[in-house]
Amino acid sequence: MMNTDYSRANLAEVLRGHGITPTHQRIEIAHALFSKMAHLSADQVLAIVNERHAETSKATVYNTLKLFVESGLVREVIVDPSKVFFDPNTDPHHHFYDIETGEITDIDAAKVSIAGLPELPPGKVAAGMDVIIRVKRAIA
Amino acid sequence: MMNTDYSRANLAEVLRGHGITPTHQRIEIAHALFSKMAHLSADQVLAIVNERHAETSKATVYNTLKLFVESGLVREVIVDPSKVFFDPNTDPHHHFYDIETGEITDIDAAKVSIAGLPELPPGKVAAGMDVIIRVKRAIA
DNA sequence: GCAGAGGTTAGACAGAGTCCAATTCTTATC
DNA sequence: GATAAGAATTGGACTCTGTCTAACCTCTGC
Ligand SMILES: [Mn+2]
Ligand SMILES: [Mn+2]
Ligand SMILES: [Zn+2]
Ligand SMILES: [Zn+2]
């Protein structure tokens, strides 16, 4: 989706390209997600963004993550009952989820084929599909 | 998994068969889940169980649902970021999830085939797979 | 520079879920 | 049927994630 240019200047351009006014806070939040390319919770984003000097509030982190999701910049991953993770990888893909460590790993959706799904309920349209493979440490 | 005998006496036997001491509260909670055969949140279970006369605490509902999950009597469904649902259907199956109404519908896993999944990460063993198809109302 | 829209903020609030020490129940044994 | 010991339940305090609000700030176009 983006190359490897995670400079603030380039991130600002990416935000503009999605119709988002690039503020300091939004750029820092985008930087946290895209430079780490990891599945981060809101709390983790808040911590990363305020590592050097506190400059972004909890409310702004939540507002911004929601905005990013709505504009397709990042994707929500719902695997843990206690918190949502935000995924800078918006290519179609699935996830391994380690139920012991919480680690989330991507699975390229292009290599996976799913057949035999029933028709959608009448009057309904698809909004997305999640495949989550829960794994745990093999017996020692 | 069970027939259609949702009598308290039979539910008590089912619990014993899973190594669970059948208390009044546990039997009522099992009754709520199996007689409705629906995906219920802890809060919904609490409300159902205390419909006639309050007799079960929130702590017991959570304790019991956890116990039922651990003993394989029910299954957790993690689709909504704000709460867990408990599923009395433990046959392999997937879910439609209406992101607008919250409605959850079962998809028989026997009819669905998934190919091309990568190998599990080294040292990991599968603990389950969830397929969630998020749907919404078709544009009016 | 000014105005107005849009963005940010602290902190109060809500809801799901956990924890604890005190109490009550279940069950095995007599 | 009574007893005793372990198991289960309980209210309520607590934690954590996420939302909301009203005041304040900042950016942009004029
Ligand atoms: Mn939760
Ligand atoms: Mn939540
Ligand atoms: Zn991912
Ligand atoms: Zn189900």
Is residue A98 classed as helix, strand or coil in its secondary structure? strand
Report chain C positions within 7 A of protein CB atoms. 6-12, 15-20, 25-27
The CA-atom distances, in angstroms, between A110 and each of A64, A94, A113, B47, B116 are 29, 10, 8, 44, 9
Mean pLDDT (whole number) for A2-31: 89
Say whether pLDDT at A27 is over 90: yes
pLDDT classification of B4: cutoffs 50, 70, 90: confident
In one letter, which amino acid is B1?
M
For chain B, helix, strand, coil in percent to 5 are 35, 30, 35
Query: How far apart are the C-alpha atoms of B125 and A137, rounded to whole Å?
Result: 6
Alpha-carbon distance A90 to nearest alpha carbon in chain B (angstroms): 16
How is chain A split into domains, by residue range?
A: 8-80, 91-135
Q: Looking at residue B139, what is its pLDDT?
A: 81
Residue of B nearest to A112 (CA): B116
Mean pLDDT (whole number) for B23-37: 96
**Chains A and B: how many Cβ contacts under 8 Å?**
122
pLDDT classification of B1: cutoffs 50, 70, 90: low
Q: Looking at residue A3, what is its pLDDT?
A: 65
Of B96, B112, B128, the CB nearest to A116: B112
Q: Looking at residue B54, what is its pLDDT?
A: 81
Q: In what order do the strands lie in the sheet with B124-137?
A: A104-108, A93-98, A124-137, B124-137, B93-98, B104-108
Say whether pLDDT at B134 is over 70: yes
Q: A133 to chain B: which residues are within 8 Å by CB?
A: 117, 120, 126, 128-129
pLDDT classification of A52: cutoffs 50, 70, 90: confident
Distance A41 CA to ligand 3 centre (A): 12
Q: Higher-confidence residue: A71 or B3?
A: A71
| Token pair in block for residue A69 | 């999701």
Question: A117-138, pLDDT tens digit by residue?
Answer: 999 999 999 999 999 999 999 9
Mean pLDDT (whole number) for A86-101: 96
Which of the listed CATH numbers 1.10.10.10, 3.30.365.10, 3.40.50.300, 2.40.180.10 matches domain A8-80? 1.10.10.10
Helices (H), chain B: 8-17, 24-36, 42-49, 58-70
Q: Do A135 and B117 touch (CB under 8 A)?
A: no
Distance A140 CA to ligand 1 centre (A): 30
Say whether pLDDT at B89 is over 70: yes
Is residue B40 classed as helix, strand or coil in its secondary structure? strand
Q: Looking at residue A54, what is its pLDDT?
A: 81
The CA-atom distances, in angstroms, between B15 and each of A6, B22, B77 are 56, 6, 21
Alpha-carbon distance B117 to nearest alpha carbon in chain A (angstroms): 6
Mean pLDDT (whole number) for B5-26: 94
Report chain D positions within 7 A of protein CB atoms. 7-13, 16-21, 27-28
Left, alpha or beta for A13 (phi > 0: left; psi -120 to 50: alpha)? Answer: alpha
Which DSSP string do the residues of B57-89 spell out, in sequence order?
A: -HHHHHHHHHHHHHTTSSEEEEEETTEEEEES-
Mean pLDDT (whole number) for B34-46: 97
